[in-house]
Amino acid sequence: ATPYKTKEYEVQKGETLYGIAKKNNTTIEELVQMNPDVSNGIKPGQKIQIPVRDVASADYNNNKQQVAANQSVQNNTEVQNVKHKVQKGETIYGICKQYNITQETLYALNPELKTTGLKVGQEINIKKEVSKPIEHKNENAVVNEPKNKNNQEAKPIKMVSTDTVIHATKTNTTTKIPDCNQQQTSPLKKVKVALFIPLMGDEAIIDEEDASTDPNFKLAPKPFIEFYEGFLMALDSIRRQGLTVELIQYEVKRDSSKIKQLLNDKNLQDVQLIVGPFYDNIFDDVAEWAYTKHIAVINPISSSNKALFKYDNVIQLNTTLNSQLSQVTKYLAAFDSLNIVIVHNNTNEEMQIVNIYKKQYLDLFTSNFATKSPALKDVIYTQGGIDAVERALDKHKINIIILPSSSQVFVINTITKLNDLTRNYKIILSYMPTWKKFEQNFELEYLFNLHSHAFQPFYIDYSNQQVKNFVLSYRDLYKIEPTKFSFLGYDCSLYFLSLLQKYGEQFFNCINNAEVSTLSSKFYFEKIGNKGGYENKGIFITRYDDVKNEIVLTNIVANKFLLPLFIQPIEVRKVNVVKKQ
């Protein structure tokens, strides 16, 4: 029997399964389990069953007695082989979550699932942990733990909804300054995290103004829900590793006065980590408040917030353009025989980028190759056009072309002319992040002919098995495809919850020691000056491979190069004599 009552709910026009679950303090998965037909979608007027819970009910109770009893159960378990009969509406993800096993384990026990998938009525093999009989010496200990409908122990993460806040019980934790050279003998068991994120209404949309400040993310509808979904999936994974997480989710908008009210919420005062807000105009308010409380605060998406340079508790996941350029320059300066050609129109915007490349490249090259002279030239296109560019090229070397311009017309026209030069010169085009806003207008063939190399702080390798597993789980759980924001939410949650678990609130000292496998990021953080926070400077370098006819990973640049230093040999482009009609 369930530890709570149920009631009938009539679906209203415009409602989603996610919205109904959020409004009624439940999950999408639980609604699907109670109403298998909703896995195919819902419609207005449809009647479904939803749980009715009391905050103090067994499902939500998180007092000290229950925590102690849960710990006793965890320490007194044994594994049994059981059979599970697949019910209508069940998914691989849901079954794995029900029995607290991984998908890899389930597939190992049932290899046929990889090809046939689940079928209603099918019996599959499961390894299930069951409690051993234990003697309770404490009269106040809870002997019979309440179960949910799947016979699981009550989950440690419990949230209660209000108009603006979802919060849980208050937790106090003591930590010690960690030693990053060795694993802590007593890692944290409980942490408290606040998430400032807009999930409802028009606020859950990044508009053009937000997108323009961030060259690494294009405009996307409702990315915050996707971030949140990925965040929860990682949270679920870290919980299975023994960490109890109290999550407070604040529904925030752009109103700074509202943010200041939320900062007075008593449940926020002892959190150990804050993620968000996602909008620059209110992030600064939260960062300043968190600074006075010595609480770490993460800026997940923006790459241009000034709080990074003012408060040493700020962590920025996205990488500023200047830092990306510095990392790429480090990569280029590791090769001694390249011919670097910077093509620009001498504008102020372009010259800022040109100066970064020139100064840092020359310094790094001289340091790496003291007895050699660097080949670096800059061409002012307005003074000599494509002829001046060709004069700067070298037929005996690989030529790296850097176009710092963000002008769509200039960039596309120049790429078209550079494509013609590939018949006589070995050329690699450096693809700028600012071009993403008009990349749909590029001739894809030209990017391959120019062996274009791009750089970005986030990259998803869909051939990676962990990525494949995440995609399958995400599809099963949310019935949609994950986006880059889903992956980022997962990485953010997994990385920083792991840091908290391992090192406690002093994780800043060990911020690069999480040792977890992220899916779309390779976090490497550097402190910004004496007063500033921590910026992620790990970037991926990818190339348009004209042999494989796909974009492939070339290297990852963090504090060092994480892959072997290697530039794919290229040749001048051979042009067929017979032209297409």
Q: Which residue has the tokens 């026009």?
A: 13
* 319 and 325 Cβ atoms separated by less than 8 Å: no
Contacts 24+ apart (CB under 8 A), 411-415: 411/435, 411/438, 412/438, 412/441, 412/442, 414/343, 414/381, 414/386, 415/442, 415/443, 415/446, 415/447, 415/450
Predicted local distance difference test score (pLDDT) of residue 496? 96
**Residue whose C-alpha is closest to residue 214's, from 319, 298, 315, 287:** 319
How many Cα neighbours within 13 Å face the side chain of 450?
Answer: 25
Within a 13 Å sphere around the CA of 75, how many CA atoms are in the beta-carbon half? 8
Determine if the peptide bond prior to 44 is cis (ω within 30°). no
Interatomic CA distance for residues 553 and 536, integer angstroms:
19
Closest CA to 456 of 429, 433, 436: 433
Mean pLDDT for 117-132 is 72
The stretch 357-381 carries a mean pLDDT of 94
Question: 570, 228, 254: which is closest to 427 by C-alpha?
Answer: 570
pLDDT beyond 80 at 251 = yes
Tokens of 82: 């059981």
Would you place residue 162 in the very low, low, confident or very high pLDDT band (cuts 50, 70, 90)?
Answer: very low
Name the CA radius of gyration of the chain, rounded. 27
If pLDDT is split at 50, 70 and 90, which confidence band does 94 have? low
Residue 3 and residue 557: Cα distance in Å, rounded? 51
What pLDDT is recorded for position 58? 32
Of the chain, the end-to-end C-alpha distance in Å amounts to 73
Give 405's pLDDT tier (boundaries 50, 70, 90): very high
User: Which amino acid appears at position 524 of this protein?
Assistant: Y
Structure tokens at 16: 């989603």
Are 507 and 175 within 8 A, CB to CB? no
- Token couple for 519: 């899916």
More confident call, 104 vs 119: 119
Q: What is the rounded CA–CA span in Å between residue 82 and residue 123? A: 10
Q: How far apart are CA 508 and CA 515, in angstroms?
A: 14
Give the closest residue to 227 by CA, choosing from 267, 195, 273: 195
- Residue 187 Cα distances to 74, 191, 515, 574, angstroms: 16, 11, 15, 60
Other Cβ atoms less than 10 A from the Cβ of 445: the count is 11
Q: Of 293, 287, 197, 188, which is closest to residue 245 (Cα–Cα)?
A: 188
- Whole-model pTM: value is 0.68
Strands 273-275 and 190-196: parallel
Distance CA(456)–CA(542), nearest Å, equals: 8
The pLDDT value given to residue 164: 31
The answer on pLDDT for 139 being more than 70 is: no
Instruction: Kindly tell me if the per-residue pLDDT of 469 is higher than 60.
Output: yes
Q: Where are the beta strands (DSSP E) in 432-519?
A: 453-456
Listed residue (226, 53, 92, 241) closest to 156, CA to CA: 241
Distance of CA 558 to the CA centre of its chain: 17
Q: In order of start, what are the domains of the chain with their CATH numbers?
A: 5-52 (3.10.350.10), 76-131 (3.10.350.10), 160-319+465-532 (3.40.50.2300), 323-456+540-557 (3.40.50.2300)
- Give one DSSP letter per residue of 12-78, joined into a string: PTT--HHHHHHHTT--HHHHHHH-GGGGG---TT-EEEEEE--TTSTTT---HHHHHHHHHHHTSEE
Confidence of residue 535 (pLDDT cuts 50, 70, 90): very high
pLDDT above 50 for 131: no
Q: Is residue 169 pLDDT above 50, yes or no?
A: no
Query: Between 147 and 291, whose confidence is greater?
Result: 291
Angle between helices 92-99 and 465-478 (to 10 degrees): 100
Cβ–Cβ under 8 Å, residues 233 and 473:
yes
| Model pLDDT for residues 13-57, shown as the tens digit of each residue | 767 776 787 677 776 767 777 877 776 667 888 898 888 754 333
